[in-house]
Structure 1
Amino acid sequence: MNHKLFIGARLRRLREQAGLNQAAMAARLGISLSYVCQLENNQRPVSATVLLKLVEAFDCEVSDFSEEQDRRLLGELRDVFRDRLLAGEGVGQAQLVRMVEQVPELASAFVGLVQRHQRLQDEYAQLADRLHGDQLPTLLAPLPHEEVRDFFNRRDNYIDTLDALAEERAGRGGLVPGERAAALRRILHDEHGIEVEGLGNTAADGMLRRFDARRSRLAVATHLSDAQQAFQIATQLALIAHRDVIEAEIAAAGFSDAQTSALARQGLAHYFAGALLLPYGDFRAAARSSRYDIEALQRRFHVGFETVCHRLSTLQRSGARGVPFYLVRVDQAGNISKRQSATAFHFARHGGACPLWHVHDAFTQPGRILTQVAEMPDGTRFFGIARSIGRGGGGWRVPRKSFAIGLGCELSHARELVYADGLDLDAQREVVPIGPGCRVCPRADCVQRAFPPAGKLLETGVDVEFLTSYRFEDEGRKHSGNRAAAARG
């Protein structure tokens, strides 16, 4: 063997399963009793000779004593104890190692219980999604980012107090697209005595902003564009100048813990920063006059594609609303990292997004805006656009993030968008039947279904096969009935 192999727990388990004491084990293997004791207590590694004797005497495999099994179990335990909602705090690496070495059956049983709990939790969440969508809050403790996301969704992604403050501040500060960062530096200096300095070459570690309250210094990454620097400065301005407003919003929301409140605090500061760069009245007027042409709005306000899309999804001020949009941000694995909507459109909280949704196609055509007319299972139709975006980079091996942005509205608003020009929105052949996600989608005939639906019994007959991977039991009975009728005819 090329390295030392300790088999204490596995040897003890094998001995106990055979009904032997340590002396009998030593006799069967032809080794001393003290050696057996040392092996079981991991005081000595097992030799190749003894390992082969174990395999022969107990009719097992060498792989049964492999450390890989312990490594896998230890990795699963680490995953469990990273989840603060399941396992709490205070379990260290050394304790987990001892658990695997000394009581592997207990460790494996614990992991199995947690996995069953998670499956039940997923099943409950999927059933709730299918029956209630976003209208029913989960009875299980939500993750911090989910709780914050739900907070913004309940407000239609519009926070009036911060939006109005940002619009007033933008008008008073004379912020001009392309020259905002310098103006915001002056505001921080003149009103709060804070100096803004460059953060230096931070592309490799990804740091964008760092505030030192003791020195009254705000450092911002120098490789960022003017709009990106302005966004970071405006975020810090919100946390300093309008902290009372932000804290009032957090208090009214009644978040469950400090971590969730911290994420909400950051989200509200980001909201203020976006509203400062794109003041409500000016931006809404420009959006309507350009017929929501995102690239034209990018040029006018000197911001990125995602920033424009995000701001379009917030235009829900009473008496001055824009088109109600949904906005999603998806990575190449189908994970939704941003999801907000002022429409009836929703995707499941758990599991991936519908594979028929055009937002996934955006990765195959980088930089191109794709359109789609989609119909949800309840018959509601939406018109959407999707485009891939990237962040970071700027150097060899510098981390870069890739996403696809999806923005859409109910079909009744589609003609207000420039992207619908020349399209036959009423043509049935152009409508793509999508769903909220495979585990909650009721469509029985979808050939792209990746998972069986939660709470549905499946047809298990093997004598008939379809292109679809899963058939619901009621569909199976229908087809059986049809076949029986055909036979009788």
Structure 2
Amino acid sequence: MSKAFMGVRLRRLREERSLTQAALAQTLGISTSYLSQLEQNQRPLTVPVLLRLNASFGVDVQIFSDDDEARLVTDLREALSDGAQPETVSVAEMRELAASMPAVARTLVSLHRRHRDAVERNEAMAARLGDEWIGDAPARMPFEQVRDFFYARHNHIAALDDAAERLYADAGLAPRTVHAGLSAWLATRHDVRLVFDDGDQAQRRFDPVSRTLHLSPDLKQGQQAFQMATQLALLELDELIDRLTDDPSLRGEEARTLARIGLANYFAGALILPYGDFLRVAEEARYDIERLSRHFGVGFETICHRLSTLQRPDARGVPFFFIRVDRAGNISKRQSATDFHFSRVGGSCPLWNVYAAFARPGQVLTQLARMPDGRTYLWIARTVGRGNGGFGIPGKTFAIGLGCDVRHAGRLVYAKGLDLSDPDAATPIGAGCKVCERPACAQRAFPPIGHALAIDQNRSMLTPYPVT
């Protein structure tokens, strides 16, 4: 932060508040000439000035965050490397644009997404030719809108965390007593009766007429408590969830309904693992997931998902990225409290340890992984399984990945034995073959977008799709 040049953002902030340079300089306790130098990127924005901005205007420091800039650079790389541009834009130029003119950069990203939406709509229309066709298919899938809804908030919903902590205290809950406590709260406050229905295929089904909550007996106690907490969110926080989902990024009732479920699930995790208590124990345990699982009586996946939400401004945990994949490489969950994310174009990287976890079920694997931009991450991966409900009924197996920037790795027990300072210790991975810039990767599945292939029928290379 001591070398952050954020002149355009500072000038925009001043203009949005209709302040002159002299007025803002007086508020911040600096000279007008010094403020002018800051706005012209002749001097870096220092931590003391940033703290005064926060104190005077309640400015969210994230708008001056390097992490936000890295997110924007990643999105720009995706937008400007799809092969449609007449000129190649260098990563250095993208970084300059993201740092100096973030609003322009976000507009370019938005225009590209609108273009991609139109292309996807045309493809969907073409796929329907010859069938009964409905012309107004949605431009983007509802689940993508919901994913971006959480991503834009760094996977942290403060209002739900606060509500969960209040209810945790009011209901007298404690680790490993949540199941009984929630059962009693639902009965006394909402006249809801629990039924463990072996014949119901649903994990949770609520009948509002009979006030009956049906839960699957195949679920473990922690999972049953999570389902009870989810239903409680829909009973007690209906108005708050409605306000949160009244967002222009959620287009259509299907997207808003999916977002409601996602927010109810967020509240459930926040209620079972209340923010303050959970963060304290996590720090004491050096983020040992299995220790946290035993302490709170919930599963590995639930702990990992909660760890990815600890971004309260005055009490931040390690900013994690959370992902869940199946054996086929399908990503069914993806949440980020940090700037790391895989591209929406194509799949993810086969060199990533989240896929190796399937070969060693139940074991925690660690990996230092370096992205093409030079950033290195510590990744933890492990499989989780869900048993079947009887003979002949297939179960589920997923791999969970939890990662953070290497600068936070020292706070984690999983850094033991790893040389965090050795750049050669990291596995080079990418954001998906179609946008990955690593030309010598033997695992490449698709040619990179925006590059001409070096095709030579008289030469065979170990690396698929060599580029010029």
TM-score, length basis structure 1: 0.68
Match of 1:167 in 2: 165
Tell me which of 176, 189, 192 is aligned to 2:190: 192
Match of 2:441 in 1: 446
The amino acid across from 1:347 in the alignment is F
**Offset of 1:354 from its aligned partner?**
0.4
Task: Report 1:106-117 matches (<5 A).
Answer: none
Match of 2:121 in 1: none
Work out whether 1:422 is the aligned partner of 2:377: no
Equivalent pair of 2:149/2:250 in contact (CA under 8 Å): no
1 or 2, which has the higher helix percentage? Answer: 1
| Distance across 1 between alignment mates of 2:429 and 2:257 | 35
Work out whether 1:401 is the aligned partner of 2:396: yes
Equivalent pair of 1:325/1:407 in contact (CA under 8 Å): yes
Work out whether 1:470 is the aligned partner of 2:425: no
**Offset of 1:242 from its aligned partner?**
0.5
TM-score, length basis structure 2: 0.71
Equivalent pair of 2:318/2:408 in contact (CA under 8 Å): yes
Distance 1:125 1:366, change over 3 A: farther
**Offset of 1:422 from its aligned partner?**
1.8
Tell me which of 277, 289, 295 is aligned to 2:272: 277
Tell me which of 217, 221, 229 is aligned to 2:216: 221
Work out whether 1:151 is the aligned partner of 2:152: no
| Distance across 2 between alignment mates of 1:193 and 1:256 | 35
Aligned-CA RMSD value: 2.1
Task: Report 1:454-465 matches (<5 A).
Answer: 454-465=449-460
| Distance across 2 between alignment mates of 1:374 and 1:316 | 23
| Distance across 2 between alignment mates of 1:210 and 1:253 | 30
User: Structure 1, residues 400-450: CA drift from partner, whole Å, max 9, x if none?
Assistant: 111111101001111100010121122233211100000111111111101
**Offset of 1:296 from its aligned partner?**
0.2
Q: Specify the SS of the correspondent of 1:127.
A: coil
Task: Report 1:338-349 matches (<5 A).
Answer: 338-349=333-344
Match of 2:349 in 1: 354
The amino acid across from 1:156 in the alignment is H
Tell me which of 82, 85, 91 is aligned to 1:127: 82
Task: Report 1:356-371 matches (<5 A).
Answer: 356-371=351-366
Equivalent pair of 1:151/1:253 in contact (CA under 8 Å): no
Equivalent pair of 1:125/1:350 in contact (CA under 8 Å): no
**Offset of 1:186 from its aligned partner?**
1.7
**Offset of 1:199 from its aligned partner?**
1.9
Match of 1:245 in 2: 240
Work out whether 1:262 is the aligned partner of 2:257: yes
Work out whether 1:181 is the aligned partner of 2:176: no
Gap regions ≥5 residues in structure 1: 1-122, 474-489
The amino acid across from 1:439 in the alignment is K
Q: Specify the SS of the correspondent of 1:299.
A: helix
Q: Specify the SS of the correspondent of 2:447.
A: coil
| Distance across 2 between alignment mates of 1:237 and 1:395 | 29
The amino acid across from 1:235 in the alignment is T
| Distance across 2 between alignment mates of 1:307 and 1:125 | 37
User: Structure 1, residues 16-72: CA drift from partner, whole Å, max 9, x if none?
Assistant: xxxxxxxxxxxxxxxxxxxxxxxxxxxxxxxxxxxxxxxxxxxxxxxxxxxxxxxxx
Work out whether 1:211 is the aligned partner of 2:206: yes
**Offset of 1:372 from its aligned partner?**
0.8
| Distance across 1 between alignment mates of 2:232 and 2:238 | 9
Q: Specify the SS of the correspondent of 2:247.
A: helix
**Offset of 1:145 from its aligned partner?**
0.8
Per mean C-alpha deviation after superposition, the further-off stretch among 231-240 and 277-286 is 231-240
Gap regions ≥5 residues in structure 2: 1-77, 84-88, 99-104, 118-138
Alignment: residue pair count: 347
The amino acid across from 2:192 in the alignment is I
Tell me which of 430, 436, 441 is aligned to 2:431: 436
**Offset of 1:181 from its aligned partner?**
2.1
| Distance across 1 between alignment mates of 2:210 and 2:452 | 64
User: Structure 1, residues 111-155: CA drift from partner, whole Å, max 9, x if none?
Assistant: xxxxxxxxxxxx989839x98899635211221111101111111
**Offset of 1:253 from its aligned partner?**
4.9
Match of 1:301 in 2: 296
Q: Percent identity?
A: 50
Equivalent pair of 1:335/1:353 in contact (CA under 8 Å): no
| Distance across 2 between alignment mates of 1:208 and 1:253 | 31
The amino acid across from 1:266 in the alignment is I
Match of 1:21 in 2: none
**Offset of 1:216 from its aligned partner?**
1.6
Distance 1:253 1:313, change over 3 A: farther
Equivalent pair of 2:322/2:336 in contact (CA under 8 Å): yes
Distance 1:444 1:395, change over 3 A: same
Equivalent pair of 1:199/1:209 in contact (CA under 8 Å): no
The amino acid across from 2:168 in the alignment is A
Equivalent pair of 2:242/2:260 in contact (CA under 8 Å): yes
Match of 1:317 in 2: 312
**Offset of 1:467 from its aligned partner?**
0.8
